[in-house]
Amino acid sequence: MISVRQLRRRLGLWRYAVLHGARDRRLARAAAEAQREADAALEALPPLPAAGDGPEAHIMCGERQFVMGAWSSYSLLRFIPEARLVVHTDGSLTEQTLARWRRIAPGMRVVSREEGLAAMRRRLRPFPRILDWCERYHFGIKLGGTHSIAEAQRVLEFDSDTLALREPRALLDALRDSSVPLTWNADIAYCYAYPEATLRDALGDMLGPLPWRLNGGLMAGRRLDDADWALLDAALGRFGERAGIDPMRFWMHQTLIAVLASHMGDKARPLPREYDIHDGPTRPDASMRHYVGHPGIRPRFFIEGVPFVRDAVEPM
């Protein structure tokens, strides 16, 4: 016998399929052709300026995400000439693919999974719970590897399915302002691993004002320090003491970032509305868009986003 929760989920999926199934199939077909065009169009992009000695821009990417990752990094770094691109690879990126990426992003650094893990184990040795979580969680190396390998004091983290459609001034201002500990784009809804009441019950005074819909796909701020890691380590300890809380649950990555941000004060803040995750067509006023893995959103990366960026760049 199925539970009420399972029944509601099934009814929700059925309702979504009825209302949006045809749209999503149409988008998927259009995106397949648009992705092939985007792949070919990479060859016409002029190289970005050589990497500077400013902030670092970190992205995780594999061979399957290369076309997205290349367009994502190009769209953003054209506005941050002082930044250095750091690509964390899962080992699937081929030398041929990396050569294509390096042509448009000279001086980019490539970090293998093994190199990221080694740096993370050195950096987080005093914090065994967060180290264990970073090693086992599917997005763990995104948090632990990025901030363990980073050399710059200011760090930008962005997913391969984000695009800068025009100059992201609010993001750049926050990135360049050393007094801003963290800024992020707002998610489409509450997307933490557990309801706020559950988190507060487990963490007590360890949880400050919970950030509004923090999304982990676009963040900028300072490199994490020992106090940050100690807080995350302690939070995982509290979670481990509570029955029914699984630290490996989906959305736990941005849940932990939200816990951290709750202690950073008023300077830690979401980016303006033009960075929000949203459904439907790309908003005309969007500075950046995170085309999350939703069938009504992700295809628009290639259908709407890449053509917009391509038309704004003068080809070679």
Whole-angstrom Cα distance, residue 156 to residue 144?
Answer: 14
Q: Residue 207 belongs to what domain range?
A: 42-312
Exposure of 50 by Cβ count < 10 A (0-12 exposed, 13-18 middle, 19+ buried)? Answer: exposed
Whether 27 is covered by a domain: the verdict is no
Whether 11 is covered by a domain: the verdict is no
- Angle formed by the axes of helices 128-136 and 140-149, nearest 10°: 120
Whole-angstrom Cα distance, residue 239 to residue 256?
Answer: 11
Q: Any bridge partners for residue 244, and if so which?
A: none
Whether 52 is covered by a domain: the verdict is yes
Q: Please state, in angstroms and as integers, the Cα–Cα distance from residue 77 to each residue in 10, 15, 55, 94, 287, following that order.
A: 42, 40, 11, 22, 14
Whole-angstrom Cα distance, residue 30 to residue 26?
Answer: 6
Is 52:175 a contact under the CB 8 Å cutoff?
Answer: no
| Rg, C-alpha atoms of the chain | 20
CATH for 117: 3.90.550
Whether 25 is covered by a domain: the verdict is no
Give the pLDDT score at 53: 86
Whether 205 is covered by a domain: the verdict is yes
Whether 31 is covered by a domain: the verdict is no
Give the pLDDT score at 192: 97
Is 33:67 a contact under the CB 8 Å cutoff?
Answer: no
**Each residue's pLDDT expressed in tens, for the chain with a length of 316 residues:** 566 556 565 655 556 666 567 889 999 999 999 999 999 999 999 999 987 889 999 999 999 999 999 999 999 999 999 999 999 999 999 999 999 999 999 999 999 999 999 999 999 999 999 999 999 999 899 999 999 999 999 999 999 999 999 999 999 999 999 999 999 999 999 999 999 999 999 999 999 999 989 999 999 999 999 999 999 999 999 999 998 999 999 999 999 999 999 999 999 999 999 999 999 999 999 999 999 999 999 999 999 999 999 999 977 6
**265-277 per-residue burial string, b: 16 or more CB within 10 A, e: under 16:** eeebbbbbebbbb
Of 128, 144, 38, 132, whose CA–CA distance to 88 is shortest?
144
Could you give phi then psi for residue 218, rounded to 5 degrees?
Answer: -150, 105
Give the pLDDT score at 149: 97
> DSSP assignment, residue 162?
E
Give the pLDDT score at 316: 66
Please give the distance of CA 113 from its chain centroid, rounded to a whole number.
Answer: 17
Instruction: Please state the domain count of the chain.
Output: 1
Give the pLDDT score at 35: 98
Give the pLDDT score at 14: 55
Could you give phi then psi for residue 288, rounded to 5 degrees?
Answer: -135, 155
Whether 117 is covered by a domain: the verdict is yes
Indicate the residue type of 107.
G
Containing H/E element for 74? helix 66-77
Give the pLDDT score at 212: 85
Residues whose CB is less than 8 angstroms from the CB of residue 140 and which lie 6 or more positions away in sequence, other chains included: 133, 134, 253
Whether 126 is covered by a domain: the verdict is yes
